[in-house]
């Protein structure tokens, strides 16, 4: 199954995620459908809120960026792509990185966002095992972006007043569209 990706203006995007109690077949099915939805929409990541769910889950696959980075970007050992993060928690952040980011819930809007360059994140994998990884570069940014979604935080909240004005037309259009669907 493929989900419909909700866009800015839909109040579901503002909900906070609820921790997953048991990593069971239902959760694995949701994660699988989220991965499918992410690929169908050419995204690098997707959080449960973006498909109208409130489980604390996001999925990420940064392989396209890693492959085109000529070795500059790396995927940590032992982490397979697509990666599913259940009940993720960013436990440590180091450094700063400023890069342009997009979001499937904000089609065609890209803004520069300041993120930690290196993070440690704990989570459960699809087998319910506790994991702890260190992520840098694009993976670090993708995880921080998706983790924002689980807290109901959106690209919009990272925009400066000037950016909000600059994108006001696109934002208004998205809001109108979300009311119709």
List active site positions: 146
Residue 170 CB partners (closer than 8 Å, separation 6+): 106, 108, 109
Q: Which tokens in the block code for residue 112?
A: 């520069």
The residue among 27 and 154 lying less far from Zn ion, judged by its C-beta, is 154
d(CA 3, CA 7): 12
To the nearest whole angstrom, how small is the minimum distance from the Cβ of residue 97 to Zn ion? 17
To the nearest whole angstrom, how small is the minimum distance from the Cβ of residue 102 to Zn ion? 8
The residue among 5 and 124 lying less far from Zn ion, judged by its C-beta, is 5
To the nearest whole angstrom, how small is the minimum distance from the Cβ of residue 158 to Zn ion? 11
| 3 state SS for 92-134 | EEECCEEEEECCCCCCCCCEEEEECCEEEEEEECCCCCEEEEE
For the CA atoms of 48, 14, 140, 90, what is the dihedral angle to 10 degrees?
-90
Output the residue with the shortest Cβ distance to Zn ion: 103
| Residue found under tokens 């520069």 | 112
To the nearest whole angstrom, how small is the minimum distance from the Cβ of residue 113 to Zn ion? 11
How many residues touch Zn ion under the rule CB under 5 A: the total is 1
The residue among 23 and 150 lying less far from Zn ion, judged by its C-beta, is 150
Site track for Zn ion across 93-122, x = CB under 5 A: ----------x-------------------
The residue among 14 and 129 lying less far from Zn ion, judged by its C-beta, is 14
For binding to Zn ion (CB under 5 A), which residues are involved?
Answer: 103
């Amino acid at each position: 199954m493929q989900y419909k990706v909700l866009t800015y203006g839909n109040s579901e995007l503002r909900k906070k995620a609820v921790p997953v109690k048991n990593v069971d077949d239902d959760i694995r099915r949701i994660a699988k459908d989220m991965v499918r939805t992410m690929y169908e929409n050419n995204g690098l990541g997707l959080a449960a809120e973006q498909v109208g769910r409130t489980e604390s889950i996001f999925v990420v696959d940064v392989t396209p960026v890693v492959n085109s980075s000529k070795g500059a970007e790396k995927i940590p050992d032992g982490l397979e792509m697509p990666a599913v993060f259940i009940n993720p928690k960013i436990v440590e952040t180091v450094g700063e990185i400023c890069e342009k980011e997009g979001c499937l819930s904000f089609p065609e809007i890209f803004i520069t966002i300041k993120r930690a360059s290196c993070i440690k994140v704990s989570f459960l994998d699809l087998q319910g095992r506790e994991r702890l990884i260190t992520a840098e570069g694009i993976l670090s940014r993708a995880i921080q972006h998706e983790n924002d979604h689980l807290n109901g935080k959106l690209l919009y909240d990272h925009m400066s007043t000037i950016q909000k004005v600059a994108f006001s037309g696109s934002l208004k259009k998205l809001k109108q569209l979300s009311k119709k669907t």
